[in-house]
Structure 1
Amino acid sequence: MKQFIVSCCMLSSVAVMAQQKDYPIQAVDFTQVKLTDRFWLPRIETNRTVTIPASFARCESTGRVKNFVMAAQKNGKFCTTYPFDDTDIYKTIEGASFSLAVHPDPKLDAYVDSLIHIIKDAQEPDGYLYTARTINPAAAHSWAGKERWEKERELSHELYNAGHLYEAAAAHYTATKKRNLLDIALKNADLVCSVFGPDKKHVAPGHEIVEMGLVKLYRLTGKQAYLNTAKFFIEERGHYTGYDTKSTDPWKNGAYWQDDKPLVQQQEAEGHAVRAGYLYSAVADVAALTNDTALLHAIDRIWENTVSKKMYVQGSIGARGDGERFGNNYELPNATAYNETCAAIANVYWNQRMFLLHGDSKYIDILEKTLYNGLISGIGLDGKSFFYTNAMQVKGHDNPMGLEEERSGWFECSCCPTNLARLIPSIPGYIYAQRDNKLFINLFISGAARVNIGHTPVQIIQQNNYPWEGALSFTIQPQKTVDGDILIRIPGWARNQAMPSELYHFQSADTNQVTIKVNGIPITYTLENGYASIDRKWKKGDVITVDLPMEVRRVTADQRIKDDIDKVALQRGPLMYCAEWADNAGKTDNILLAPGTAFSPVFMPDLLNGVMVLKGTVSKVVIENAQKAATISNPFVAIPYYAWANRGKGEMTLWFPEKLNYLTIN
C-alpha cells in the first residue's frame, strides 16, 4: 500500500512540474461543485441510476464485453458489428468514474474493477489493445487490415479505441486514485508513441480522439512523449500522397477525415462532424500546452466558419447524413438534418476549450445553446432512450432519408448513448473558471461551489430557477475579505444576439435591460468580452443579483439558408422551442406564425418532467377537399426542443412560416 501511495504522489508531482504552459483560464473541476438545481441535478441523477447501468447492461447483452473475454482467450469470433465497439465500454467507465468521484458507490466501483480486469486480460504483452484483431489475428475484422495500423487512416479505428481508453483511464484514476485502468492505458500509449512519430510510422488518425486522450495522459504523468505524439498526429494531417487532390469527393481527397491539407491551412469545418470536433478540441489543447500560435489561428478561423455558416439554430452541427458530416456553407436543411448527438458533445468540448484560450463569452453562448438544446435532445426523459440524429422537422409522411422520428434504447453503432453517459455527470465542471483574481461564472445552475479568488478560498452559492426564469442570485462567502473581479456572463440572447455571428438574428430588439445589484443596490458595470465585470473587495455574505429578461423572441435566419426563408423560430432564454403533434391537434406542418402573434409562457409541472410551454393562438391551414383549403384560428403550444419525441411518434417542427406561400402541407 505504501508503494502505491508513493507512486500516485509521484505521478501528480511530475505532471505539475512538467506543465509550464497551459490554458490561461482554468475550469473549476466538477468535483468542487455541488448542485441543488431542478434542471441538471435530476438529469445527472438519472444518468447515475439509469443511463450508466443500462449502458453497462447493454454492453454485456450485445457482446461488447464478450469481445474482451474472447480476446483474452485468443479464441472465438468478434461478435459485434464495428471494430470501435470497444469504446462503448470505455466511455461508460468514464461516465461511471465521473459519477463515483462525487457519489461513492461500492457496488459500481467493484463492477468497474471487474471490467478493468477483463480489459487487462485482453491486452497483448506489448500493450496493444484492440479486440477486433486480438481475438483472431488471422481473421481480423474486415476494417482492421491484415497488419496492425494498416487501415488506421480510414477504417480500423485502432487509435480511436486507444483515445477513449485514455480518456476513461484518466477519469478513473482521478476519481478513485486506482492505477488499474491507468496502467493499461499507459502501456498502450507507450506502444503508440513507439510506433508513430517523425522518424517512425506516419499516419493521420482516421477518427480523432487519441490526441485528446494523449493530452489527458500527459497532464497526469508529465511524460513529454504523450504531448509530442498528440501534436505529431495533428501536424501529420494533409501530407498523405495517396489522395486524389483534384477530386471534390471528400472520401477521395481526404476532407472527410480533415486530412486534405495541413491543419494550419484549413479554413473551414469539414468532413465527419464528430471527428472534426474532437480534432479541434485537441488542437486547442496542444496550442495551449505548446504555445503554438499557428494552430491557434487555425482553429479560430474554423470556429468562425462553423458558427457563421454551418451551425443549426439549436446549436447542432453536421448537416449531411451521408458521412455524418458538415455540408457546404449555409447548407442547413431541416427535413434531412442529421445533427449527430456525438457531434453536439464534441461541440461542447471544443467551445469550452476555446473559452479557456480566449475568455470570451461567445464560446460559452454556443456551449450553452448546444447543452440545453441539441445535446440533451439526444436522450429521452427516461434516461435510457436516445436519438443518434436530431431532426429539425418531422413531416406527416414517410421519412425519405430514414432519419429518426422515435427514440431507441440502443443502436448497432451505439456511440451516442455511451457518449452521453460520460458527458452528463461532468456538466458541473462547465459552470465556473478562474484566472488569477478573476472568477468567471459561465452557466447558471443552482448549487454551491468551492473556488478561489486569487489565493483566497471562496464558497459561492447560486440560486435560480434557470432556464425557466432569469432571476439569478450569487452569495459570496470568502474565507476572508478578498479583492477580486467576478465576471458574470451576460448571455448573447440577453444582449439581442441570437448567435455570435450573422447566421441568425432576433427579428426585433428587446429593450429590456439586464439589471445587476450588489447587496440590493443597483450597480453600473462594465461589459468585458460579454461578461459583467464586478471588481471590489468581497466580504462574507455579499449577494449579487442579476435579472435577465426572459422574453419570447422570434429568430430569423440568413437568407442563404434556403429552408428557413420567411420562417421564424421561437426562443426564450437559452431554449429553442418546437411544436409537436401531441399539443397541436396531431399536426404541425400547417401552422403559420403571423407577425405580431403573442405567446404566453406557462409552466406545466406535470408535462415532460416539468417544462415552460409557450401558448398562443395561430393560424392553421386545413385542407377541406382537393379543391379547397381554409385558414382557421387554433390554439398553439410549443415545448422546449430538447423534450420532443417523449410521447410517441408524430409531427414536429422548429421553424414556422410567416407567409402562406412557404407552407407545405402533407
Structure 2
Amino acid sequence: MKKISLLLLAVCTVSYASAQKQDYPIQPVAFTNVKLTDHFWTSRIETNRKVTIPASFARCESTGRVKNFQMAAERKGKFCTTYPFDDTDIYKTIEGASYSLALHPDKKLDHYVDSMITIVGKAQEGDGYLYTARTIDPLHVGDWLGTERWVKEQENSHELYCAGHMYEGAVAHYMATGKRNFLDIAIRNADLLVRVFGPGKRHVAPGHEIVEMGLVRLYRVTGKTEYLNLAKFFIDERGHKEYNKKSKNVFENGVYWQDDKPVINQDEAEGHAVRAMYLYSGMADVAALTGDKQYLAAIDKIWDNMVGKKMYVQGSIGAVGDGERFGANYELPNATAYNETCAAIGNVFWNQRMFLLHGDSKYIDVLEKTLYNGLISGVGLDGKSFFYTNAMQIRDGFNHPDIERERAGWFTCSCCPTNVARLMPSIPGYIYAQNGKDVFINLFISGTGDMKVDNKDLKITQQNNYPWDGGLAFTINPASAVDMNLKIRIPGWAQNQAVPSDLYIYQQNMSQKVIVKLNGKAIDYKMEHGYAVISKKWKKGDKVEINLPMDVQRVIANTNLPDDAGKVALQRGPVMYCAEWKDNDGKASNIIVPQNAVFTTNYQPELLNGVMVLKADVKAVAVTADGQNVSTQNKTLTAIPYYGWANRGKGEMTVWFPQQVKYVELLAN
C-alpha cells in the first residue's frame, strides 16, 4: 500500500495539490505522525479497528444499505431501507476504515473497501449524480424526495448531505491508499454540483449541512477553487427563503435548518444540533481559506452562546428531542436530555477548528470535555453497542420516548455508530499543533509525535496515566538544538474553571498552583491564552514535567438552570462522574450528597476496562416495602465515569445529586 502523509477529518488543513496563500494559522500534526502507547485511547482505537468498523460494514450489508447501491446500479428494485441518507453509513464506514488502513495496513480490509467502492461507483449515474433513493426508481421516490432532483433538498431529501459524506470518505481513502477509485467518483459528483448550483444557476441552502465541509476537503486535494467557491455559496444561501418569521415553531420559522437569517447575522446556536455543528465547521473552514471576517465574527458569537447557555455539564449539546436540536437559552433539562452522539462528534470538529483559528485553549477545553465524556459515552466498551442519545438521568418509573436506557447494536437511523467509526482513529491528530516555532500540546496521551520546526525533525514523547493521574512528562528530542516556543495547555479544569463560561463553576476553588519543571527544576513560566509557554533553545533530552491537581470537584450550575438548583455534579480531572444502579443498591435517584461529604478515589483495573472510582459516605432516601414510610439512611456512594454507564445492564443513573432534601414528591406508581 502506498504510504502518504495524512491530515484527515477535522484535522485536515493542508492543501496537497496546490499551495494555498491563506489557511488556518495553526496547523495540526497529522495523526499518522503520532503513535500512541497509552491504554485509555489505544484500546478504544483498536476496538474500533477490530470490532466497530467490521460490524458497521456487516450491518450495512445485512440492513440493505449495500443492496440499495446494487439496485441503483441495475436501475431497478425498491429502495429497501428507511431513510434516503442511509447511503452515508457506507461512506462514513469507508472513511473510518481508511483512517485505520493509514495506521494499520490490512490487505483484507483494503480489498473489501475496494469492493464497496466498486459497488458505489456502479450506482453513479452518467452525469455524476449518486443517490440511490432516486436512482433505483425515479418515478417512485417516497415522501422525502421530490419528483425531480434537488427540489426537496432544502427540506428532507438529503441529496447534498449524502454528497458531503461521500467527499469526506473519498478524500480519506485517497490520502490513506493513494488510490483514485473513490476520489474520482466524488469528483464527478462535485463537478455536477458546480454545473448545477451557484450564481445564475440553481439556488439552495442545503437542508442538512456537511457538503460544505466535504467540498473544502476536495478543494484541498484537487486545488479546484470551484469547490471552495461552491462551499461558500451554499453557506451564503442561508437566510433567504421565505418562512413564517412570526411563528415560534422552529420548523416553520427556519430556525431548525439554521436558515432563519443569513449566517453572518446569526449569533445563537440554533436548530438541529448536528446540522449546526457541520455548518459552523464549514464556516470556519471557509473563513480560514478566504479570510472572511464576517464568518469569524458570527461563529465567535455563536460559540460564546453555546458554551455559555446551551451545553450540558459533560459536554453534550442538543437538549431537545423534538428536532434533535438546541433549545432556548438555558433550556437544559435533565429528565429529557437528548444529546445526540453525532452532535458531540460535530462539537469536536468545530472546537478543533476554532482552536486552529484563534490558538486559545478554551476551545480545546470544550473539545476535551466532550471527548472524554459526552462523546465516548455514545459507544459501548464492546465497540458494537451504541447510544444515539446520551441521557443525564434515568429513573425507574420515568420512560420518556426520547431517552434510551440501554445501548443498541444498530438503529433505523444509524448515523451515530458510523460517525463513531470515522472519528475514533483520528484522535491522535488532535494532540499536537504548530504555527512556525510555536508548538502546541493540547491533549495528554502517552506516545510520540513527530514534526518539523525550522526544518529540523522534532520528536515529542509523552508519558502519563491521564486521565486518571495528573502527572505529565514531556521529553523533547530535536534532531539538533532548535529555538522553539513550547505551549502546553493548562486545562481550565485545573485553573478552577469547570467550563469556559459561567454556565458551570466549581463550588469551591482549588488552591494548588500548577508547577512546571524543566529538567527537574521548577521554573517561572508565562501563560498565554491558557498555555504555559516555555521559550528556549531546546536540546535533545530536555524534559518538562507538570503535575495537574486531581481533586474531586463539586460542580454547580448557573442559577438559570432550574433542574440543577441545589445539586452538584462530580468532576475529577477532565472526567465527569455519575452514579449507576449497579454500584448503588439498584438505585441512583435517591442519593443525597451533603456538603460535608469527603470523596476517596480508587483505581479499579477490572471494572469497565479500568476506571478511577469515587466513593463517599452520603445519605439515601429509603421507602419501606409497604410504601408507608420514608426515611434517610447512611450509604456509601460509588460513582463511575459518566462515559461508562449502561455497559452492565439497564437501570437508574444520574449525573446531578441534591445536597439536601427540600421537599418530597409523592408518586404512587
TM bucket normalised to smaller = over 0.9
| CA offsets 1:239-289 (integer angstroms, 9 cap, x no match) | 112x11221111011110000000000110000000000000000000000
CA distance in 2, matches of 1:286, 1:124: 29
Distance 1:15 1:472 in 2: 35
Pairing of 1:20-35 with structure 2 (within 5 A): 20-35=21-36
Give the aligned partner of residue 536 of structure 2. Answer: 536
Query: Within 5 A, what are the aligned runs for 1:44-193?
Result: 44-193=45-194
Q: Does 1:656 align with 2:657?
A: yes
- Say if 1:16 and 1:63 are closer, same or farther in 2 by CA, change over 3 A: closer
For 1:216, the aligned partner's letter is R
Cα distance in structure 1, aligned partners of 2:120 and 2:612: 45
SS at 1:269 equivalent: coil
Match of residue 507 from structure 2 = 507
CA contact (8 A) 1:496 1:510 kept: yes
Q: Aligned partners of 1:144, 1:423: CA distance in 2, in Å?
A: 29
Provide the C-alpha distance between the structure 1 equivalents of 2:155 and 2:486, rounded to a whole number of angstroms. Answer: 47
User: Aligned partners of 1:292 and 1:176: how far apart in 2?
Assistant: 34
**2:315 touches 2:369 (CA, 8 Å); kept in 1?**
yes
Task: Tell me if the contact between 1:165 and 1:185 (Cα under 8 Å) persists in the aligned partners.
Answer: yes
- The residue type equivalent to 1:506 in the other structure is Y
Query: Is the Cα–Cα contact under 8 Å of residues 15 and 218 in structure 1 kept in the other structure?
Result: no
1:13: how far off?
11
Structure 1 partner of 2:644: 643
Structure 1 letter corresponding to 2:377: S
Structure 2 partner of 1:197: 198
**Residues 622, 174 of structure 1: CA spacing in aligned structure 2 closer, same or farther, 3 A cutoff?**
same
Shift of 1:127: 0.2
My pick for the range that moved more, 15-24 or 244-253, is 15-24
> How many Å apart are 1:628 and its aligned residue?
2.4
Question: What is the alpha-carbon distance in structure 2 between the residues aligned to residue 16 and residue 562 of structure 1?
Answer: 53
Residue in 1 that maps onto 2:244: 244
* Aligned equivalent of 1:362: 362
Mapped contact 1:438–1:454 kept (Cα < 8 A): no
The 8 Å contact of residues 15 and 223 in structure 1, kept in 2 or not, is answered as no
Is 1:436 matched up with 2:450?
A: no
Structure 2 Cα separation of the partners of residues 149 and 293 of structure 1:
31
**Within the alignment, does 1:597 sit opposite 2:597 as a pair?**
yes
Which secondary structure state, in structure 1, belongs to the residue aligned with residue 401 of structure 2? coil
Correspondence for 2:10:
none
User: Over the residues paired in the alignment, what is the CA RMSD in angstroms?
Assistant: 1.5
**How far off its partner does 1:454 sit?**
3.0
Is the CA contact 1:189–1:226 (under 8 Å) kept in the aligned structure 2? Answer: yes
Tell me: CA distance 1:581–1:14, structure 2 relative to 1, closer, same or farther (3 Å): closer
1:401, CA displacement in angstroms?
Answer: 3.2
Letter in 1 for 2:639: A
**TM-score for the superposition, normalised by structure 1:** 0.97
Contact 1:37 1:445 in 2 (8 A): yes
Write the deviation string for residues 412-437 of structure 1: whole angstroms up to 9, x where unpaired. 00000000000000000000000010
CA–CA separation in structure 1 for the residues paired with 2:214 and 2:666:
48
The residue number in structure 1 matching 2:581 is: 581
Once residues 99 and 555 of structure 2 are traced to their aligned partners in structure 1, the CA distance between those partners, rounded to angstroms, is: 37
Tell me the secondary structure at the aligned position of residue 419 of structure 1: helix
Question: 1:369, 1:663 → 2: CA distance?
Answer: 33
Q: Is the deviation greater in 355-364 or in 624-633?
A: 624-633
Distance in 2 (CA, whole Å) between partners of 1:665 and 1:73 is 62
Q: Give distance in 2, aligned partners of 1:343 and 1:361.
A: 21
Does the 8 A contact of 1:590 with 1:665 survive in 2? no
Q: Determine if contact 2:212/2:234 at 8 Å carries over to the other structure.
A: yes
Alpha-carbon distance in 1 for matches of 2:498, 2:583? 26
Contact 2:321 2:402 in 1 (8 A): no
Contact 1:78 1:141 in 2 (8 A): no
CA contact (8 A) 2:15 2:220 kept: no
- What's the CA shift string for 1:435-465, capped at 9, x where partnerless? 0101000000000110122322101100100
SS in 2 for 1:148: coil
Q: Please list, as runs of the form range in 1=range in 2, the aligned pairs for 1:461-610 lying within 5 A after superposition.
A: 461-610=461-610
Q: Which moved more, 1:512-521 or 1:291-300?
A: 512-521
- Structure 2 letter corresponding to 1:343: A
Conserved? CA contact 1:237–1:261, under 8 Å: yes
Partner of 2:344: 344
CA contact (8 A) 1:566 1:662 kept: no
Q: Indicate the SS of the match to 2:85.
A: coil
> In the TM superposition, what is the alpha-carbon distance from 1:16 to its structure 2 partner?
4.9
> How far is 1:640 from its partner?
0.0
For the Cα contact (< 8 Å) 1:600–1:616, is it kept in 2?
Answer: yes
Residue 14 of structure 1: how far off its partner (Å): 8.2
For 1:393, the equivalent position in structure 2 comes to 393
Other-structure match for 1:9: none
Partner residue of 2:424?
424
- CA distances 1:562-619 after superposition (whole Å, capped 9, x unpaired): 1000000000000000000000000111100000201111000111111000011110
For residues 322-343 of structure 1, the C-alpha deviation after alignment (integer angstroms, 9 at most, x for no partner) is: 0000000000000100000000
Shift of the 13–509 alpha-carbon distance from structure 1 to 2, 3 Å rule, reads closer
Q: Which amino acid aligns with 1:42?
A: S
Q: How does 1:217-232 map to 2 (within 5 A)?
A: 217-232=218-233
- 1:264-343 matches, within 5 Å, as 264-343=264-343
Whole-angstrom CA distance in 2 between matches of 1:600 and 1:455: 48
8 Å contact from structure 2 (residues 557, 565) kept in 1? yes
- Contact 2:14–2:220 under 8 Å retained in 1: no
State the number of aligned residues.
657
Whether the 8 Å contact between 2:474 and 2:545 is mirrored in structure 1 is: yes
Mapped contact 2:338–2:402 kept (Cα < 8 A): no
1:16 and 1:76, CA in 2 relative to 1: closer, same or farther beyond 3 A? closer
Which segment drifts farther, 397-406 or 607-616? 397-406
Letter in 2 for 1:575: V
In 1, distance between residues paired with 2:101 and 2:666? 50
2-structure distance, mates of 1:13, 1:93: 22
Alignment partners' CA distance in 2, 1:159 and 1:13: 24
Cα deviations across residues 450-500 of structure 1 (Å, max 9, x unaligned)?
A: 012232210110010000000001111100000100000000000000000
Residue aligning to 2:7: none
The answer to whether the Cα contact below 8 Å between 1:473 and 1:543 also exists between their aligned partners in 2 is: yes
1:330/1:561 contact within 8 Å kept: yes
Residue 522 of structure 1 aligns to which amino acid in structure 2?
A: A
The Cα offsets for residues 318-369 of structure 1, whole Å up to 9 and x where unpaired, read as 0000000000000000010000000000000000000000000000000000
Q: Which AA in structure 1 matches 2:112?
A: Y
Q: Distance in 1 between matches of 2:606 and 2:20?
A: 50
Equivalent residue number for residue 451 of structure 2: 451
Q: Secondary structure at the match of 1:660?
A: coil
Q: For residue 317 of structure 2, give the secondary structure of its aligned residue in structure 1.
A: coil
> 8 Å contact 1:589–1:663 — kept in the other structure?
no
Q: Distance in 2 between matches of 1:482 and 1:626?
A: 73
Matches within 5 A, 1:5-20: 15-20=16-21
Contact (CA 8 Å) 2:619, 2:634: kept in 1 or not?
A: yes
Instruction: Give 1:15 shift.
Output: 4.8
SS of aligned partner of 2:563 = helix
Tell me, in whole angstroms, the C-alpha distance in 1 between the residues paired with 2:507 and 2:491: 17
TM superposition shift of 1:627: 4.3
Q: Measured at CA, do residues 522 and 665 of structure 1 come closer, stay the same or move farther in structure 2, by a change above 3 Å?
A: farther
